Structure 1
Amino acid sequence: MPHFFLNKRLIILLISLIVLVSLIGFSLREKENISKPEQFIKDVVGFGQSLVARPAHGIAGFFGNIEDLKNTYTENKKLKSRLEGLATLEKEIADLKEDNQELRSVLEKTEDLREYQTIQSTVISRNPERWDEKFIINKGKNSGVDTDMAVITSKGLVGKVVSVSPMTATVELLTSENTQNRVSARIQGKEKVFGLINGYDPKKKLLLMKDIPVDKKIKEGQNVVTSGLGGIFPKTLDIGKVKSVEMDRFGLTQIAYIEPSAHFYDFEHVMVVVRTMGKLDNVDKEEE
Structure 2
Amino acid sequence: MPQFFSNKRLIILLASMIILVALIGFSMKERENITWPEQFLHDTVGWTQSVFYKPAHFVAGFFENIIEMKDLYEQNKILKLQLNDYDLLASRVKDLKRENETLRKTLEKEEALTDFKVWQTTVVGRAPDPMWYQSVKINKGSQAGIKPDMAVISAEGLIGKVDEVSAFHSSIELISSHDPSNRISAIVQGEKDPVHGLIQGYDEKRKVLLMKMIPIDKPLKEGQTVTTSGYGGVFPKGLEIGKIVGFEPDKVEPTQTAYIKPSADLYDIHHLMVVERTIQEVLVEYEEDLIEGEGAS
Query: What TM-score comes out, normalization by structure 1 length?
Result: 0.60
In 1, distance between residues paired with 2:145 and 2:284? Answer: 17
The letter of the residue matching 2:246 is S
185-194 vs 267-276, which moves further: 185-194
2:139/2:170 contact within 8 Å kept: yes
Q: Within 1, Cα distance between the matches of 2:105 and 2:126?
A: 29
Q: Tell me the C-alpha RMSD between the 2 structures.
A: 4.3
Q: Which residue of structure 2 lines up, in the alignment, with residue 71 of structure 1?
A: 89
What corresponds to 1:107 in structure 2? none
Closer, same or farther in 2 for the Cα pair 1:137/1:71, shift >3 Å? closer
Q: Find the counterpart in structure 2 of residue 218 from structure 1.
A: 221
SS in structure 1 opposite 2:199? strand
Q: Aligned partners of 1:49 and 1:151: how far apart in 2?
A: 64
Unaligned ranges ≥5, structure 1: 1-18, 27-34, 97-111
CA distance in 2, matches of 1:116, 1:152: 12
Q: What's the counterpart of residue 48 of structure 1?
A: 66
> Which residue number corresponds to residue 240 of structure 1?
242
Q: Residues 153-185 of structure 1: CA distance to partner in whole angstroms, max 9, x if unpaired?
A: 455433112344555444322223333322233
1:87 and 1:252 map into 2 onto residues whose CA distance is: 41
Indicate conservation of the 8 Å contact 1:115/1:276, yes or no: yes
Tell me which amino acid in the other structure corresponds to 1:140: G
Q: Alignment partner for residue 60 of structure 1, among 66, 78, 86?
A: 78
Which structure: greater helix fraction?
2
Length, aligned pairs only: 234
State the secondary structure of the residue aligned to 1:56: helix
Cα offsets for 1:130-159 (capped at 9, x unmatched): 554445545333321122211234554331
Contact 2:105/2:155, CA 8 A, preserved across alignment:
no
Distance 2:218 2:284 in 1: 34
Measured after TM superposition, the shift of residue 196 of structure 1 is 2.3
What code does the residue aligned with 2:71 have? A
- In structure 2, which of residues 196, 199, 219 is the aligned counterpart of residue 197 of structure 1? 199
Residues 1:160 and 2:161 are matched in the alignment:
yes
What is the rounded CA distance, in whole Å, between the counterparts of 1:188 and 1:54 in structure 2?
66
Offset of residue 122 of structure 1: 4.4
Q: Is the 8 A contact 1:246 1:255 kept in 2?
A: yes
Provide TM-score, normalisation by structure 2. 0.59
Q: Supply the distance in 2 between the matched residues of 1:283 and 1:166 (Cα, whole angstroms).
A: 32
Instruction: Tell me the amino acid that sits aligned with residue 67 of structure 1.
Output: D
Q: Is the contact made by 2:103 and 2:271 (CA closer than 8 Å) also made in structure 1?
A: no
Largest Rg, 1 or 2: 2
Inter-partner Cα distance in structure 2 for 1:206 and 1:182: 15
Report deviation, 1:63: 1.9
| 1:117 corresponds to 2:118 | yes
Match of 2:186?
185
- Relative to 1, partners in 2 of residues 1:184 and 1:45: Cα closer, same or farther, differing over 3 Å? same
Are 1:272 and 2:274 matched, yes or no? yes
Identity over aligned pairs, percent? 35
